[in-house]
């Protein structure tokens, strides 16, 4: 199985996040999966890919040309794909992957994981999606999701589109035992056009 990991490219974050990324990579390799990631030699990206390779995994790095030209792309990937832009990078990461995991990260990580949730909600794919909530990093985001459910911005059944894992072991276990839950249409029943 190709497991896509979205995560931070920062080297400045606390050590506990690197420890979890290392554990995730190790579990990916030990369970005979491959890792699909952003292809860079910085931050959690580098840690998860290097750990996965050391545990026997194949790594597929997908990196946009602009970052590759900064000499930040990993020379150690089994397969390196250089894309002309971020849009193509994200498309290929989704296409090449059977499951998605978000480790803590910044704006790019959030955009990537929210996009795959949106696409699943719209039934473009049926793949498992997991947040690894290291140090409660995603707590505020999860609460934002809960508010969206409470105020009918999103259907509560869409909680089934993703899973919140406390650690890497829970994440891998969820993915390996995943069963898709059929979703209804995204839209709520309405009696007429929107108010304006």
2-6 β-sheet, strand order: 79-83, 59-64, 34-37, 2-6, 99-102, 129-132, 163-165
Name the fold adopted by 2-176.
Rossmann fold (3.40.50)
Nearest to 37 by CA among 132, 103, 87, 130: 103
Helical (H) or strand (E) element with 180 = none
Q: What is the pLDDT along the chain (196 residues), one digit of tens a residue?
A: 999 999 999 999 999 999 999 999 999 999 999 999 999 999 999 999 999 999 999 999 999 999 999 999 999 999 999 999 999 999 999 999 999 999 999 999 999 999 999 999 999 999 999 999 999 999 999 999 999 999 999 999 999 999 999 999 999 999 999 999 888 776 666 566 666 5
pTM of the model: 0.94
Strand-strand pairing, 34-37 and 129-132: unpaired
């Amino acid at each position: 199985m190709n497991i896509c990991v979205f995560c931070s490219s920062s080297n400045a974050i606390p050590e506990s996040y690197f420890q979890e990324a290392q554990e995730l990579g190790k579990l990916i390799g030990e369970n005979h999966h491959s890792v699909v990631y952003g292809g860079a030699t910085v931050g959690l990206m580098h840690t998860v890919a290097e750990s996965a390779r050391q545990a026997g995994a194949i790594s597929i790095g997908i990196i946009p040309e602009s970052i590759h030209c900064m000499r930040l792309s990993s020379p150690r990937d089994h397969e390196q794909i250089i894309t002309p832009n971020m849009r193509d990078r994200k498309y290929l990461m989704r296409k090449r992957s059977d499951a998605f995991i978000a480790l803590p990260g910044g704006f790019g990580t959030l955009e990537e994981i929210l996009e795959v949730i949106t696409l699943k909600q719209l039934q473009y794919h049926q793949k498992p999606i997991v947040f690894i909530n290291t140090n409660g990093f995603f707590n505020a985001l999860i609460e934002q999701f809960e508010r969206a459910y409470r105020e009918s911005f999103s259907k509560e059944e869409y909680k089934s589109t993703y899973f919140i894992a406390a650690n890497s072991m829970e994440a891998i276990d969820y993915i390996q035992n995943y069963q898709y839950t059929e979703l209804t249409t995204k839209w709520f029943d309405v009696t007429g056009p929107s108010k304006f």
